């Protein structure tokens, strides 16, 4: 290695620099192409994701709307069941009450006790009803002078 002179070292160094520069340019070109490809793939993936989310939103909205319709139908059905149940219970109760009244033994009808009429003389003695005025004690006049106030 001692036989190398300055010009040979310089020539080898320039050749190595040229190879490195060529390699760097190739890497830069490949990197730029790779970045451009990744950017286009990213944009396509973003567009695909946007379409997916839009379609998923539509489907979820349809499912939500279908669930709301189904919920309304179920509530309506529940109200109908409640109404039919109450109606049936009232009908069964009415039929049962009618059957009970029709089948229960009738009590024997007895003759009512005649009402006794009471005259007023039986309640109040006659001497109390027509009392003569003379029988009342007469008031005696008061001969005393009126009392004075001290």
List the chain domain ranges.
6-103
This prediction's pTM: 0.36
| 102 backbone φψ class: left, alpha, beta (φ>0; ψ -120 to 50) | alpha
Distance separating alpha carbons of residues 10 and 13, to the nearest angstrom: 5
User: According to the model, what pLDDT value does residue 129 have?
Assistant: 59
Runs of H (alpha helix) within 104-149: 120-123, 126-129
pLDDT tens digits along 93-137: 999 999 988 888 777 677 777 777 776 666 766 566 555 555 555
């Amino acid at each position: 290695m001692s036989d190398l002179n300055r010009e040979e070292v310089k020539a080898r160094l320039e050749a190595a620099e040229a190879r490195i520069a060529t390699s760097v340019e190739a890497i830069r070109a490949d990197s730029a192409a790779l970045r451009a490809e990744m950017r286009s793939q990213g944009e396509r993936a973003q567009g695909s994701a946007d379409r997916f989310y839009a379609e998923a939103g539509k489907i979820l909205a349809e499912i939500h709307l279908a669930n709301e319709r189904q919920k309304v139908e179920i509530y309506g059905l529940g109200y109908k069941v409640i109404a039919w149940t109450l109606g049936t219970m009232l009908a069964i109760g009415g039929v049962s009450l009618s059957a009970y009244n029709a089948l229960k033994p009738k009590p024997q009808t007895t003759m009512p006790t005649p009402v006794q009429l009471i005259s007023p003389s039986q309640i109040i003695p006659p001497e109390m009803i027509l009392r003569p005025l003379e029988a009342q004690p007469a008031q005696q006049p008061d001969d005393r002078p009126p009392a004075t106030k001290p």
